[in-house]
């Protein structure tokens, strides 16, 4: 749960980050940036800001902004009826992205969210810089993080069904509740 | 057919356009820009420069640069075995894009390539500026053009099978032949 004011502030900050990263977006798009707290109510620690540029029945294009030291919780994209699940290519636009997925434990430069260490089980670390990208097959568990400068990145994928994403942290609710206050 | 020198010059110009439009690409990506003359041998008039960022069995992301007054010939993406055909979203990054597709004849601001007027049959004109985009269903005939300043644009799509694209101009060969000279 976040307040309307938190949502508006986060949206404005994210739009500024996108524009500072030279991503050309319209004012209407900036106003439509989704602020996601994963139902955890501590956006600055675990959350993300998402602008959806394309969403059809076949593909999805999003631009994500992560604030400094913000972490997107570990999740995966399961198969659903008639679809093997979301395949996703993540490409960094600005900042440094700390990305974690299955494989040898090379965890070194990121940090585990305090009190939630058990919800971040993937420890194969990839450090990605602008122009670098990685493609994830459906079902691959992953989480990612920004450090001091924040990150702006693309997510190019097959159809996104965000509400069906699976999370390691069972406290997570994908729909963010916004309260007037 | 183009010469190696034409290819290298076009590739360099396109990379400069992408970078001037703040698209962040690696040097390796710049070196991989595809220069396409559609087998017509007059790249400046009919052609395009294409950087493929993502190409999997499910999706494709390309950045296209069109030089000033360069036209991408009329074409469409047909169904192929097991696939209804490529669905494509075009989004302008810089410059003004003159885009033509089926519908009411609103042709006004573009121009038809001289001597090839019969190969440009779609006359519903859409003028698109940075941050504007359009999604095309598979099979929809379209062509597009840059004017004085050139255009840089994204193409987000389902799997691209460029070699299977269909063109109104039967002189077209999708594979560009490069000759050393």
pLDDT by 10s per residue, chain A, length 181: 999 999 999 999 999 999 999 999 999 999 999 999 999 999 999 999 999 999 999 999 999 999 999 999 999 999 988 889 999 999 999 999 999 999 999 999 999 999 999 999 999 999 999 999 999 999 999 999 999 899 999 999 999 988 899 999 999 998 899 999 7
* Residue range A119-158, pLDDT digits in tens: 999 999 999 999 999 999 999 999 999 998 999 999 999 9
Point out the residue among A94, A131, A158 whose CB comes nearest to the CB of B26: A131
B32, B54, B77, B93, best to mutate vs chain A, most A CBs in 10 Å:
B54
Q: Which DSSP category does A133 fall into?
A: E
Instruction: Please give the structure tokens belonging to residue B75.
Output: 């074409």
Chain A residues in contact with B53 by the CB 8 A cut-off are: 91, 133, 156
Query: Of all helices (H) and strands (E), which one includes residue A90?
Result: strand A88-101
Q: How far is CA A130 from CA A59, A152, A154, A167, B136, in A?
A: 23, 9, 10, 27, 29
The residues, any chain, with a CB within 8 Å of residue B87's CB and separated by 6 or more, are: A56, A58, A59, B77, B135, B136, B137, B138, B157, B158
Which residue from A151, A156, A155 is spatially nearest to A17, judged by alpha carbons?
A: A151
CA distance A68 to chain B (A): 21
CA distance A59 to chain B (A): 7
Residue with tokens 């003159």: B98
Residue with tokens 């097991």: B82
- Please indicate if any CB of chain A lies within 8 Å of the CB of B25: yes
Chain A residues in contact with B56 by the CB 8 A cut-off are: 87, 89, 135
Q: Residue B4, class by beta-carbon neighbours within 10 Å (0-12 exposed, 13-18 middle, 19+ buried)?
A: exposed
Which residue from B115, B134, B150 is spatially nearest to B18, judged by alpha carbons?
A: B150
Instruction: Please give the structure tokens belonging to residue A172.
Output: 């997570």
Q: How many CB pairs under 8 A join A and B?
A: 63
- Please indicate if any CB of chain A lies within 8 Å of the CB of B69: no
CA distance A52 to chain B (A): 13
* H-only helix segments in chain B: 4-20, 27-31
The predicted model scores a pTM of: 0.95
- Angle CA(A15)–CA(A129)–CA(B60) in degrees, nearest 5? 75
């Amino acid at each position: 749960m976040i307040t309307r004011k938190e949502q508006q502030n986060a949206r404005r900050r994210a739009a500024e980050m996108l524009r500072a990263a030279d991503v050309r977006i319209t004012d209407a798009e900036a106003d439509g940036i989704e602020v996601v707290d994963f139902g955890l109510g501590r956006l600055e620690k675990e959350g993300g800001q998402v602008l959806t540029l394309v969403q059809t029945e076949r593909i999805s294009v999003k631009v994500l902004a992560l604030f400094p030291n913000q972490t997107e919780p570990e999740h995966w994209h399961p198969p659903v009826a008639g679809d093997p699940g979301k395949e996703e290519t993540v490409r960094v636009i600005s900042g440094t992205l700390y990305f974690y997925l299955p494989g040898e434990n090379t965890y070194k430069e990121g940090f585990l969210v305090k009190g939630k260490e058990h919800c971040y089980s993937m420890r194969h670390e990839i450090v990605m810089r602008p122009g670098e990208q990685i493609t994830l097959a459906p079902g691959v568990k992953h989480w990612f993080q920004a450090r001091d400068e924040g990150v702006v990145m693309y997510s190019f994928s097959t159809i996104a069904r965000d509400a069906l994403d699976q999370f390691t942290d069972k406290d997570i609710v994908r729909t963010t509740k916004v309260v007037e206050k």
